[in-house]
């Protein structure tokens, strides 16, 4: 029986990279998927006044086994009535974990060594400043004063902590298998979880995030073998660039996770390479980490790799592990050959060229 996959290209290059991802899914499992395209985005809002139609959410919730989201445009001015559809979607479908693998066979560290990077960033996806509870007041001089609430719960912090420890253990097992098969692995140490916070300033809220994730370590015997370390968010950004080889699984509250995953993308060469899934109990939504890139939208030169890798992550979630591996390998081959690359990677290939090459390498 067919699986239904919702495609929400949304804005800008989202519309150019989601169809290639669907094409690759279809190439690796012909006829297995029925794709339905669902509307959302800032452009939709400009036309209809609605950024995320209720029907899109309901279709994802009731009909889809998985989804792929493109990217949304960010109006720089505050637009009355507009609110980011991806933030709303994550909340409505309770995709509580944003999972962002960042890897590269070789990156230059601060000691001028070529090191492998093999990080998995686990971003909490439902709270922190993203609850968007803000208010505007006026001070005694009539000047504006704004407040935003940052919410951190023990519940969501433990939930994301569990994702981090589970992933650390699973990655550890996979690496053992790979080592036995003689496959070179990126991260070679014991499984490790790095907790990112700023509890030296936010002792209550980040203190709660920290202690909740730490507490997860004692929940299962198999977590005992996972090393745990902490990094203040400022220091994390610094160290990630100085010694990127030292990170395995990294877990962070929503906003810090947003920032460090873009930083990590710079490390491995391009935002156009970094995939993610919005993971939860209802439906998994693959999503490239990059934005809608208005500067290159419509030119046919957007890098489809982040989306294609997001499709592979989605396949893993649907238990098509072997098919996902085929996609990863095909992408890795393309990158290591370094011939057919979009401009963000210094090449002059088009979105279509890259997609065709990945499909033919499968």
Ligand X SMILES: CC(C)[C@H](C(=O)O)[C@@H](O)C(=O)O
Measured from the CB atom, the residue of 157 and 254 that comes closer to ligand X is: 254
Q: Are the CB atoms for 124 and 254 separated by under 8 Å? A: yes
Closest listed residue to residue 84, CA positions, set 42, 54, 116: 42
Q: Which is nearer to its own copies, 86 or 97 (CB)?
A: 86
Q: Which is nearer to its own copies, 9 or 244 (CB)?
A: 244
Rounded to a whole number of angstroms, the CA Rg of the chain reads: 20
State the minimum distance, in angstroms, from the CB of residue 104 to its own copies. 13
111 interacts with its own copies by CB under 8 A: yes
Reported as type and span, the H/E element at residue 308 is helix 305-317
Q: Give me the least distance between CB of 97 and ligand X, in Å please.
A: 13
Q: Find the shortest distance in angstroms from Cβ 40 to ligand X.
A: 12
| Closest separation in Å from C-beta 165 to its own copies | 19
x/- map, 155-184, its own copies, by CB under 8 A: x-----------------------------
φ, ψ for residue 129, nearest 5 deg: -70, -10
- 238 touches its own copies by CB under 8 A: yes
The residue within the footprint of its own copies, chosen from 132, 173, 179, 333 (CB under 8 A), is: 132
Instruction: Give the residue among 333, 281, 284 at the shortest CA–CA distance from 310.
Output: 284
- Judged by beta carbon distances under 5 to 8 A according to partner kind, the member of ligand X, its own copies, none in contact with residue 325 is none
Shortest CB 201 distance to its own copies, Å: 6
Comparison of 149 and 234: residue with beta carbon closer to ligand X: 234
Angle subtended at Cα 28 by Cα 27 and Cα 30, rounded to the nearest 5 degrees? 60
| Measured CA distances, 294 to 45, 68, 165, 297, 345 (Å) | 16, 20, 37, 5, 18
Taking CB under 8 A as the rule, does residue 258 contact its own copies? yes
Structure tokens at 52: 């995320």
């Amino acid at each position: 029986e067919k699986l239904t996959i919702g495609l929400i290209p949304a804005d800008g290059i989202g519309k150019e990279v989601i169809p290639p991802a669907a094409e690759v899914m279809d190439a690796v499992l012909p006829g297995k998927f029925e794709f339905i395209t669902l509307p959302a985005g800032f452009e939709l809002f400009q036309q209809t006044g609605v950024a995320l139609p209720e029907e899109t959410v309901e279709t994802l919730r009731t009909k889809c086994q998985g989804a792929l989201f493109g990217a949304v445009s960010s109006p720089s001015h505050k637009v009355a009535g507009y609110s980011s559809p991806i933030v709303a979607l994550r909340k409505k479908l309770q995709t509580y974990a944003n999972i962002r693998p960042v890897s590269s066979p070789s990156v230059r560290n601060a000691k001028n060594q070529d090191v492998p990077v093999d990080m998995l960033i686990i971003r909490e996806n439902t709270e922190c400043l993203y609850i968007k509870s803000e208010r505007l007041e006026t001070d005694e001089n009539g000047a504006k004063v704004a407040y935003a609430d940052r919410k951190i719960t023990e519940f969501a912090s433990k939930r994301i902590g569990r994702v981090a420890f589970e992933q650390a253990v699973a990655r550890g097992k996979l690496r053992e298998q790979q080592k036995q098969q003689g496959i070179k692995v990126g991260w070679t140490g014991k499984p490790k979880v790095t907790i990112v916070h700023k509890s030296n300033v936010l002792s209550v809220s980040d203190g709660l995030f920290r202690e909740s994730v730490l507490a997860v370590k004692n929940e299962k015997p198999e977590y005992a073998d996972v090393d745990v370390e902490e990094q203040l968010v400022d220091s994390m950004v610094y160290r990630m660039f100085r010694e990127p080889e030292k990170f395995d699984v990294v877990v962070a509250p929503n906003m810090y996770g947003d920032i460090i995953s873009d930083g990590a993308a710079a490390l491995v060469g391009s935002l156009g390479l970094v995939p993610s899934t919005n993971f939860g109990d209802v439906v998994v939504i693959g999503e490239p980490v990059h934005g809608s890139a208005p500067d290159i939208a419509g030119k046919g030169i957007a890098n489809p790799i982040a989306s294609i890798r997001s499709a592979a992550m989605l396949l893993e979630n649907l238990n098509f592990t072997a098919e996902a591996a085929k996609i990863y390998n095909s992408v890795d081959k393309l990158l290591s050959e370094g011939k057919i690359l979009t401009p963000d990677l210094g090449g002059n290939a088009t979105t279509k060229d890259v997609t065709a090459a990945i499909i033919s390498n499968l």
